[in-house]
Structure 1
Amino acid sequence: MARDDDNDPQDPAEEQALAAAAMAAAPSAAAREPVGPEQTAKGPARFGRFLKASWAELQRVQWPDRRQVGQATAVVLGFVVVAGAYLGLADQVAERFVDIIL
């Protein structure tokens, strides 16, 4: 069986590249501003900052495309069908077992 080393998650070079990308994407502690008394204000200004920060975070999200959503939905529905069949069968077996006992 052939092995594809390009997609091997254990590859040290790939792990280093992923770690470097993660570090570059994360904001450093020095880049963050300290929270001062003016940033802990209450009221409409605080709510406005919350909405602005929420919108900025939503812009960073990698939203799935239509194909990915369809695949995930199919997986969930498939699991629901399998779990429902299993639980239905287990219920029938348990019902017959209880009827035998009673």
Structure 2
Amino acid sequence: MTDTAKKFSFKRYFKETKAELKKVSWPSRKEVLQHTEVVLISIIIIGLALWLVDLAFGKVLSIFLTK
């Protein structure tokens, strides 16, 4: 039998998963907070920009529809 055709084993799966998680470079609390801050600020800025574009298109559309 080839390696890819071996029978699935939960024990082996969790053992290999645990070994892989030990190799992960986890971010510090400070890094997580900084990245979260960047994401939230980006969402707010993009949300405001989309709201302004929607508002502008709404005004232009209402001008065309009232004529």
Q: TM-score range by the shorter chain?
A: 0.7 to 0.9
**TM-score computed with the length of structure 2 as normaliser:** 0.85
**TM-score computed with the length of structure 1 as normaliser:** 0.58
Q: Which runs of 5+ in 2 are unaligned?
A: none
User: Paired residues, what number?
Assistant: 64
Q: Which runs of 5+ in 1 are unaligned?
A: 1-36
Identity of aligned residues (%): 36
Per-residue CA deviation, residues 15-34 of structure 1 (Å, 9 max, x unaligned), is xxxxxxxxxxxxxxxxxxxx
CA distance in 1, matches of 2:60, 2:26: 49
Q: Which residue matches 2:53? A: 90
- Cα RMSD (Å): 1.5
Following superposition, the deviation at residue 50 of structure 1 comes to 1.4
Q: Which residue matches 2:44? A: 81
Structure richer in helix, relative to its length = 2
Greater RCO structure (CA 8 Å; 6+ sep): 1
CA distance in 2, matches of 1:49, 1:98: 62
